[in-house]
Structure 1
Amino acid sequence: MRALTLCITLLLLIACSSKKRNTDDLDFSKLLLPVDQQNILYDSTENFNWGASIVKGEDGKYHAFYSQMRRKYGFKSWLTDGVISHAVADSPAGPYMHLNTVLEGRGPDYWDPYTVHNPWIQKYGDNYYLYYISTNLNNQTLSTDEYDQARHQWIDNKYRALVRENQRIGLAFSKSVYGPWERLNSPIVEPAGPIETITCNPAVTQRPDGGFLMLVRGDKPNVNELVRSQAIALSDKPEGPWKIQPIAAVGDLNAEDPAVWYDKHRNRYYGIYHAFGYLGLITSEDGLNWQKAKHYKVSDLEYQHKDGRTIKVARMERPFVYLENDKPKVLSVSIKLDNGESYSLFIPLKQS
């Protein structure tokens, strides 16, 4: 009888130890700290600033790569005339100082002749990899007036629609965070599976098996209106080839701009996206099957200032989570105000 009891106890212990512990306990909303002017990258003269992706350079400083749109063309010119600029700081939360423009349209002899936008920077091995989006006219020619319509109108304008539907993801790489940057001569991801029409807004992280995972935005197929969807692409190398997987990461709501990282302490992936009214958190154990995280809501369209104010904003987009020692250190977001002004915001995160 005693032997039977010991056997049952042993079997129960084995069963309990083999049952996987749910590690989805990240409450990102509780990490957000107040900010001040040092955490804002703003250009009051020539450009609208938008988004930022952060990497630590070989010089020990922090480097932000961010989008700029010329004020003379208007905010919507991100699709036609955007550039990617470079700023540097001694802290990942700023203050950042603008250095220079690093990528812009290369002209009609290339696939990315006009705009470059929405950068995502990472260092893998000896190289810095700068992912971006661009577009072209699919071998068509637009007059100055037609291109100006594409620059200022919405997608119900046929010229704007033409520029929009040719969006793709490109890649530049460099041995130094200061460049020079060498670009691949063709896009790295084409629409497939759960997305169609476009590929844009890449977010890349390394998988625990050594490969790479990208969340990529496209249009949801088989709907009669614009619904954004997030697909998963996998590759053995940072430059590709990338293969889009059949199941969407976010396919049940209109959302975009996912930031993604692998949480080594929880042994799972996390992603933050904006859903046109808030930031939400998704998670996955294998990178293929995603769901809303236990603590799903990250932020409403607001942030806290160190002086006690709650700053309400019109748009909060392009989240990027900078990791240091494998833990979230800074959340950068794009901010647009009701008056049309925009800036890149670097929110410091509470460290545990």
Structure 2
Amino acid sequence: MKRRYFISGMAMLSAAGLLPEIAIAGDSNPVKAATNPAEGTGNVSEFSKHLTPLGRALEMEGYYVWCNSPVEAEDGRIHLFFSRWVATKKMGGWINGSEIGHAVAESPESEFRFKEVILAPRGPGFWDATTCHNPLIKKVDGKYCLFFMGNSNGKTNTKRIGLATADSLDGPWKRPDQPLLEAGETGAWDDHCTTNPAFIKHPNGQYWLYYKSWNTSEYENSTDPIIRGNRKYGLAIADKLEGPYKKYAGNPVIDFSHKGGNKQFEDAFIWREKGKFKIIARDMGIFNHEDGLIMESRDGIKWAEPQIAYYDAAHYITQPAPPSYLKKYGRFERPQLLFQKGKATYLFTTSQGGKYMTASPFIFRIT
């Protein structure tokens, strides 16, 4: 049995006052007694022990809200870039109707207010004709960089990573006419797509872009009852921000397929801390399909064994039974970190459910 600790009443009251759109005890998804990590397993990260669940934010009636990427502006306000699609499409709308929006809050624990849609599908003839998804906001070399995924046919095989840039978080955004990174040649491990971007400027001045992909043949012929194909991460490196990005010869750099059981990895976010590279991501079978993973590396290529970064939703909150159309209910996906003064202060995730029974951000304070 897992031991329990309780969030203090004062902390709960503080959160309730600061997060008007986030569910606190008494709402539809109350924060409950969190569970201490099991001791002595070696699989639990120190990171997981410093998360205080705050609850949901930016719940939008009539929409699924996904892929939430935060950044602090120079005035201290928090800008959130997120993907959304109309609720009538159900969860599958991410692949054939997602758009990328922009919301702003005075602080990470204040109300996020929707500002505008900044990237929407452009229609026939464009590489991002049918969806814009997976936003990742970074400030690089004095400009704001919005990495994202687009596709041209409403399917996974045309997913490609692109890069939009702006001098201000309020735009205007320069939209790319071509993808930043193409898929591999037929038969390659990454011949299906490039998606789920993770980015870091290397200390040596290079620009490192991590991307998710898989092999088309494995995907089409998969007999896995849970997830088709086997998702891995590759690395592409450029001398200039805008590219060209050359794929690392030793790709994929993260590959769990040798562990058996079709273990996989997705939704990576990368940063550097105390001289090491760190990645947080969603588990796809290492421990289960509900937890998050965290790994570290000295060189950004060879990674230590994964540990648990965070747990499933039931570990932190009490939720009502899900409707039948929510198949990913109860887990946190798309982990992204907010940095303030160079320190990771909040973990932003997304999760199905909430007051509209669609999907919305779920935020943790890092203590």
Whether the 8 Å CA contact 2:156–2:192 is kept in 1: the answer is no
Whether the 8 Å CA contact 1:247–1:288 is kept in 2: the answer is no
State the alpha-carbon separation in 2 of the partners of residues 61 and 316 from structure 1: 25
Which residue of 162, 166, 189 corresponds with 2:181?
189
Alignment match, 2:25:
none
Please state whether the residue corresponding to 2:193 is helix, strand or coil: strand
How far residue 107 of structure 1 moved from its aligned partner, in angstroms, is 2.2
Please state whether the residue corresponding to 1:77 is helix, strand or coil: helix
- Does residue 32 in structure 1 map to residue 51 in structure 2? yes
Alignment match, 1:280:
293
CA distances 1:117-154 after superposition (whole Å, capped 9, x unpaired): 110000112210001101113xxxxxxxxxxxx6xxxx
Alignment match, 1:168:
160
Letter aligned with residue 316 of structure 1: F
- Pick the structure with more helix per residue: 1
Whether the 8 Å CA contact 2:314–2:330 is kept in 1: the answer is no
Change (3 A) 1:311 1:268: farther
Whether the 8 Å CA contact 1:304–1:311 is kept in 2: the answer is no
**CA RMSD between the two structures:** 2.3
Whether the 8 Å CA contact 1:255–1:274 is kept in 2: the answer is yes
Alignment match, 1:238:
241
Which residue of 305, 309, 315 corresponds with 1:298?
309
Which residue of 127, 130, 140 corresponds with 1:114?
130
Letter aligned with residue 268 of structure 2: P
How far residue 303 of structure 1 moved from its aligned partner, in angstroms, is 6.5
Whether the 8 Å CA contact 1:33–1:304 is kept in 2: the answer is no
State the alpha-carbon separation in 2 of the partners of residues 78 and 333 from structure 1: 16
Change (3 A) 1:269 1:310: farther
Alignment match, 1:212:
207
State the alpha-carbon separation in 2 of the partners of residues 64 and 270 from structure 1: 22
Moved more, 337-346 or 74-83: 337-346
Alignment match, 2:264:
254
Please state whether the residue corresponding to 2:192 is helix, strand or coil: strand
Alignment match, 1:41:
58
Q: Could you list the runs of 5+ residues in structure 2 that have no partner in the other structure?
A: 1-43, 223-228, 257-262, 284-288, 321-328
Letter aligned with residue 40 of structure 1: A
- Does residue 269 in structure 1 map to residue 261 in structure 2? no
State the alpha-carbon separation in 1 of the partners of residues 127 and 216 from structure 2: 25
Alignment match, 2:231:
228
How far residue 310 of structure 1 moved from its aligned partner, in angstroms, is 5.1
State the alpha-carbon separation in 2 of the partners of residues 104 and 316 from structure 1: 25
1:307-346 equivalent positions in 2, closer than 5 A: 309=317, 313-337=329-353, 340-346=357-363
State the alpha-carbon separation in 1 of the partners of residues 302 and 65 from structure 2: 34
State the alpha-carbon separation in 2 of the partners of residues 344 and 331 from structure 1: 10
Change (3 A) 1:135 1:244: same
Alignment match, 1:143:
none
Output the TM-score relative to the length of structure 2. Answer: 0.74
- Does residue 203 in structure 1 map to residue 163 in structure 2? no
Alignment match, 2:90:
74
State the alpha-carbon separation in 2 of the partners of residues 270 and 221 from structure 1: 29
State the alpha-carbon separation in 1 of the partners of residues 308 and 271 from structure 2: 17
State the alpha-carbon separation in 1 of the partners of residues 200 and 143 from structure 2: 14
Alignment match, 1:14:
none
State the alpha-carbon separation in 1 of the partners of residues 189 and 108 from structure 2: 35
